[in-house]
A = this chain, B = another copy of it.
Amino acid sequence: MIEIRLLEQLAAFAKYKTLSAAAEKLHTSQPALTRSMKKLEDELGVSLFIRSKNHLALNETGLRAAEYAQHVLVADQDFEAKVKAYDRSLRTLSMGFCAPVPQIVLTPIVNSVFEGMTLSMDMMDDSSFLDRLRDGTYQLAVLHEKPDSDMFYYKKCGHEDLFISVHPGNPLAFYPEIHLRDLDGMSILLLSRIGFWANMHREKTPHAHYLLQIEQDSFSELAANSSYPVFSSSYYIRRGETIPGRVNIPIVDPECHTEFYLTCLDADRKKYAALFRQVNERTVL
């Protein structure tokens, strides 16, 4: 078997054309390369070079050999990369969340159940989550609809109701409850990374003017110091985390009352049993 080191050196010589240049790139000495190339020819039992007194060049076979060597080097690098990636994947738990509240609530629970694991979490609309569970991109996902294939295992982990938080001076402030259509056309302050809610807003209030905030801090500051309506939810209201001096009005549309389902591949059910045991339908509220 030809050692990788020799192939690396051959490839370097093919690339840099002189042993001296190759030696420099490989952080070794040029006599070392002279010897290696001799050894390579020896082990192959084949001549690879055209030698003149102060010049070395690949012959026809040598050119081919350098080309083939690349394949081996690539395979070797591939080996290293794949093993490392696989090892990493074993100690990484990738999750998809369809909304911020389940993420906030479940993160510490997942962390304590799978201590030592690296968590990799995405938040986005959950329309692709089942595919991602299937292809292994995610091991776990929180959906806002029950998966309807028995390829998946799920458990309800809570629900969330949406409110609109308005300034007392706002005409809406006197309504006991409102519909999304009442908001269409208004300017509303909104965080950008809110999972499936973003799609819901885009569909149900297409004429609302959303002032998107990427930063939580900017959002909080603007919410506190402006009279723009913002969305709030049962989760924050229950914890008293509301904006001082605002009125929170429930939204009656069914789309604003959602349930969450912690989901994994049915095949992985056992692997995550400990987590599912920690979760019930009142975990996220």
A interface, CB within 8 angstroms of B: 1-5, 7-8, 44-47, 60-61, 64-65, 68-69, 71-73, 75-80, 82-84, 86-87, 90
Chain B residues whose CB sits within 8 angstroms of the CB of A7 once the complex forms: 79
Interchain CA distance A8-B3 in the complex, whole Å = 11
Residues of A contacting B: mostly: helix
B68 touches A82 (CB 8 A): yes
A90: contacting residue among B61, B68, B73, B77, CB under 8 A: B61
Tell me the smallest distance from the CB of A146 to a CB of chain B, in Å.
32
B3 touches A84 (CB 8 A): no
Take A4-B1, A76-B72 as given contacts and tell me if A65 and B83 are in contact as well, using a CB distance cutoff of 8 Å: yes
Tell me the smallest distance from the CB of A120 to a CB of chain B, in Å.
18
A2: contacting residue among B60, B76, B90, CB under 8 A: B76
A46 touches B76 (CB 8 A): no
Take A1-B8, A2-B4, A8-B1 as given contacts and tell me if A78 and B84 are in contact as well, using a CB distance cutoff of 8 Å: no
For this chain, the copies found in one complex come to 2
A77: contacting residue among B1, B47, B83, CB under 8 A: B1
Interchain CA distance A72-B1 in the complex, whole Å = 11
Chain B residues whose CB sits within 8 angstroms of the CB of A87 once the complex forms: 44, 46-47, 61
Interchain CA distance A87-B60 in the complex, whole Å = 8
A71: contacting residue among B5, B75, B90, CB under 8 A: B75
Tell me the smallest distance from the CB of A211 to a CB of chain B, in Å.
46
B60 touches A90 (CB 8 A): yes
A3: contacting residue among B4, B60, B86, CB under 8 A: B4
Tell me the smallest distance from the CB of A108 to a CB of chain B, in Å.
27
Chain B residues whose CB sits within 8 angstroms of the CB of A2 once the complex forms: 4, 76, 79-80
Nearest first, the 9 closest Cβ-Cβ pairs linking A and B are A75-B75, A46-B87, A72-B75, A61-B87, A65-B83, A68-B79, A64-B86, A72-B79, A1-B4
Chain B residues whose CB sits within 8 angstroms of the CB of A76 once the complex forms: 1-2, 4, 72, 75
Q: Which of A5, A46, A77 has the most CB of B within 10 A?
A: A46
Interchain CA distance A73-B75 in the complex, whole Å = 9
Chain B residues whose CB sits within 8 angstroms of the CB of A1 once the complex forms: 4-5, 8, 73, 76-77, 80
Take A60-B90, A78-B71, A90-B61 as given contacts and tell me if A83 and B3 are in contact as well, using a CB distance cutoff of 8 Å: no
A-B contact list, 6 entries, CB within 8 Å: A1-B4, A1-B8, A3-B5, A65-B86, A71-B75, A75-B76
Interchain CA distance A83-B46 in the complex, whole Å = 8
Take A72-B72, A72-B75, A76-B72 as given contacts and tell me if A84 and B5 are in contact as well, using a CB distance cutoff of 8 Å: no
